[in-house]
Amino acid sequence: GAVVSQHPSRVICKSGTSVKIECRSLDFQATTMFWYRQFPKQSLMLMATSNEGSKATYEQGVEKDKFLINHASLTLSTLTVTSAHPEDSSFYICSASDSGKSNQPQHFGDGTRLSIL
């Protein structure tokens, strides 16, 4: 079945570090991928829609210069948290669906738990 691979699964780093998270669709192509953030015991919050070959669409309140998204190929989107601070500590997760077929479910990565010290 369709698989989305997200890497790394966990990051612990110092304040001021930039952290890159990768989201890959392993056996399908995805022109669109989604990036979410989730705080403990809360629901998923959409951060941005990543579009292959064009700029990402950010949700209101999400700083595009803070959360850089690159979707350079049909199977890979990256989210870079620039100059991360403790308040950026959260669970980040991506999703994608097969753009070659209609009416497809979203497939989610396993998420990245980011801890900024």
Under 8 Å between Cβ of 14 and 114: no
Burial of 45 (C-beta count, 10 Å sphere; 0-12/13-18/19+): middle
Q: Is 93 in the site for another protein (CB under 8 A)?
A: yes
Q: Is 103 in the site for another protein (CB under 8 A)?
A: yes
Three-class DSSP category at 113: strand
Q: Please, is 14 exposed, middle or buried when counting C-beta atoms within 10 Å of its C-beta (0-12, 13-18, 19+)?
A: exposed
22 vs 8: CA distance, rounded Å: 7
- Are 109 and 93 in contact by the 8 Å Cβ rule? The answer is yes
Number of residues that bind another protein (CB under 8 A): 21
59 touches 46 (CB < 8 A): yes
**Residue 110 near another protein by CB under 8 A:** yes
Residues 31-70 that bind another protein (CB under 8 A): 32, 34, 38, 42-44, 46, 49
* Piece in contact with another protein (CB under 8 A), picked from 11-19, 60-68, 79-87, 90-98: 90-98
Q: How far is the CB of 70 from another protein (least distance, A)?
A: 19
Among 5, 74, 91, 98, binds another protein (CB under 8 A): 91
User: Is residue 107 within the footprint of another protein (CB under 8 A)?
Assistant: yes
- Contact positions toward another protein, by CB under 8 A? 32, 34, 38, 42-44, 46, 49, 91, 93, 95, 103-111, 113
